[in-house]
Amino acid sequence: RKEVEQDPGPFNVPEGATVAFNCTYSNSASQSFFWYRQDCRKEPKLLMSVYSSGNEDGRFTAQLNRASQYISLLIRDSKLSDSATYLCVVNPGGYNKLIFGAGTRLAVHP
């Protein structure tokens, strides 16, 4: 079983749609959690951190459920520019090591 699992997609949605991505992780001792965004042929970039209390950044909302070892990302009012691969990332602790999921592709169309 992979340490971080995501649905690879692709998710094809129209502009303005709401889309949700889910992710599960296997190490219950994991300490911090993130969503990264990766555009085609570019490097991954931090989108947002994920906290147990949930956090929101504009149209993006991230949630963490430690009991279920589950992380989610909700994108409201999708824009064409949201088209990218979204990587679920877990820090298992110890040092700054990050474990990346395989990513979920999102394609927003007009």
Partner 1 sequence: DARVTQTPRHKVTEMGQEVTMRCQPILGHNTVFWYRQTMMQGLELLAYFRNRAPLDDSGMPKDRFSAEMPDATLATLKIQPSEPRDSAVYFCASGLPGFPETQYFGPGTRLLVL
Residues that bind partner 1 (CB under 8 A): 32, 34, 42-46, 49, 87, 91, 95-103
Residue with tokens 């997609």: 9
* C-alpha count within 13 angstroms, C-beta hemisphere, residue 102: 8
Q: Which is nearer to partner 1, 11 or 44 (CB)?
A: 44
Using the CB atoms, write b or e for 22-54: b if 16+ within 10 Å. ebbbeeeebeebbbbbbeeeeebeebbebeeee
Q: Which is nearer to partner 1, 17 or 99 (CB)?
A: 99
Q: Which is nearer to partner 1, 38 or 69 (CB)?
A: 38
State the nearest-atom distance from the C-beta of 96 to partner 1, in Å. 4
